Structure 1
Amino acid sequence: MSTSYDKMKIEEGAWVVVCDGRKALILCNKGDALFPNLRSHEVHEQDNPPTREQGTDQPGRVHQSVGSARSSVEPTDWQEEGERAFMRQLAARLDAAVTAGEVKSMVIVAAPRALGALRPHLSKGVQDIVAAEVDRDMVKLPIHEIEKHLAA
């Protein structure tokens, strides 16, 4: 698996999965390895408002078993939790596609944090067909710009 996208070859029919913690574009190469022509296959988005809008409870407190000391519990970061759930759902979708024979080769392009969150959830079948990983956030770019970056 490569993390460089210099002179990357994307097979015909390969999926290019471009994602961050809130949005995933699944693009399909309708061109060939030398002249990729990426087309939108699926778009997945998650509405994930900031933590302050999702949880209003104050962090809990814990009483120590000895003495009268108390300490606070780290508050839940609901936005981060939502991003992790989104990555799990995306990994499940990719696994279903591989199992069904929808895709034979895949390139994953993701922001470094999203890539780190996605990797542990990728099945062995998905890992086996990932031709390359690009640790760059391109999800907000138009498809022709993504294509240009990957074909450079």
Structure 2
Amino acid sequence: MTRSGARKAAMILGASLLASAAAGRVAAQGRGTGAGLYTIAQADAGERLYAIHCAMCHGSGLQGTVEVPPLTGRFVANWGGRPLGELFDYLSRAMPQHAPGALSAADNAKILAYLLRVNGAPAGEGELPSQASQLERIRFDAIQPAP
């Protein structure tokens, strides 16, 4: 092989390795909510917190009102495919409406686990993290609840 041929082969191999590494990072970061990322206990605790802090506006059945959006159906279409960290950040900053930012990160993670459950995401072995940076690597899958 000539020197220029060897250089070209090395460049192609290097580009291929970089592409593979990038694909590996995307795959590692592409974990979705369909993988079971919260526990049943965490979602149960989130349901109790939702009843206290969220139901007064969003409704006991998460149906919303004319002024307040539902947290099922259209909600999934709005947030589906986006990083879960964006939704967690929104909950942390803007909710509950009467006292934005009043809930702890752990409580917001519990409410988020409950919202995932009611929107069809399965429970798993470990709790959903309460750090936005960890949730940024998780995609909110547009899973529909079982009938």
| TM-score, normalised relative to structure 1 | 0.28
| Structure possessing the higher radius of gyration over alpha carbons | 2
| TM-score, normalised relative to structure 2 | 0.29
